[in-house]
Structures are given as structure tokens and as C-alpha cells.
């Protein structure tokens, strides 16, 4: 079975500051890795994903995440955040070759203050 640990439940930062949201996973088989974002009162949207190839993946709005197999981590980073990045962020894994079921972490609430 797979599990995901998001180490911080809440992360407050000031606008234009850098941020890192941490995610570690546990699995005995190969996995795919995802970050989803949930804005208030909305469903989840895919931010970025790692399937294979380059271990550094990027989103269109400036976030990036690096897959580190030895540390079983997939931390999400952004060098300069905006007020509009305020949301809850979920790290998720799915087992390769499975039914693409996602196992989610508990989420990290990012609050960007002016």
C-alpha cells in the first residue's frame, strides 16, 4: 500500500517570498506523483505531475517539484508567491500499473499575506 505524508498542515508566507511545501511518500512499488491545488469552495485541479524522465517538473504558474527517489520526496517550491496562490495543496501518489487510484496526503494550507 502507498501512503503520503505532508509535513506541514499550514504554511503562512508573505507575498513575493519563496515557499516550499514538503511531501514524503511510502511505497513498496513504483509510483507516479502529483500535486493538486484546491482553491476555496472548489474542487481539486492538477498542478503538476511526475510520471518518468526528468525529475524536475514545472507548472505553468511558476511552481516546480523535484522527485527524489532516495529520499522518497516530492517537495513543491515556488521562488516568489502571489496572494492568488493562497489555497490548499495536496500531494498524491498512484501505483504504477494500478487503476490510477490516488492516495492523498492530508493537505497543506498555504496562506500568502500582503
- Residues of this chain that bind other proteins (CB under 8 A): 4, 9, 32, 42-46, 49, 51, 90, 94, 96-97, 99-107
CB–CB of 38/92 below 8 Å?
Answer: no
CB–CB of 38/88 below 8 Å?
Answer: yes
The grid coordinates listed for 109 are 494550507
d(CA 71, CA 78): 20
Least distance between other proteins and beta carbon 99 (Å): 6
Least distance between other proteins and beta carbon 75 (Å): 17
Which C-beta is closer to other proteins: that of 19 or that of 48?
Answer: 48
CA 113, 34, 38 angle in degrees (round to 5)?
Answer: 40
Which C-beta is closer to other proteins: that of 91 or that of 112?
Answer: 91
Least distance between other proteins and beta carbon 25 (Å): 13
Which C-beta is closer to other proteins: that of 38 or that of 86?
Answer: 38
Amino acid at each position: 500500500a502507498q501512503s503520503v505524508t505532508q509535513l506541514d498542515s499550514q504554511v503562512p508566507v508573505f507575498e513575493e517570498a519563496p515557499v516550499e511545501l514538503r511531501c514524503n511518500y511510502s511505497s513498496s512499488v513504483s509510483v507516479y506523483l502529483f500535486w493538486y491545488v484546491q482553491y476555496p469552495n472548489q474542487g481539486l485541479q492538477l498542478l503538476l505531475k511526475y510520471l518518468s524522465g526528468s525529475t524536475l517538473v514545472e507548472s505553468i504558474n511558476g511552481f516546480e517539484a523535484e522527485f527524489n527517489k532516495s529520499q522518497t520526496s516530492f517537495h513543491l517550491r515556488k521562488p516568489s508567491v502571489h496572494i492568488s496562490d493562497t489555497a490548499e495543496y495536496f500531494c498524491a501518489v498512484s501505483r504504477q500499473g494500478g487503476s490510477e487510484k490516488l492516495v492523498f496526503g492530508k493537505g497543506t494550507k498555504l496562506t500568502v499575506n500582503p
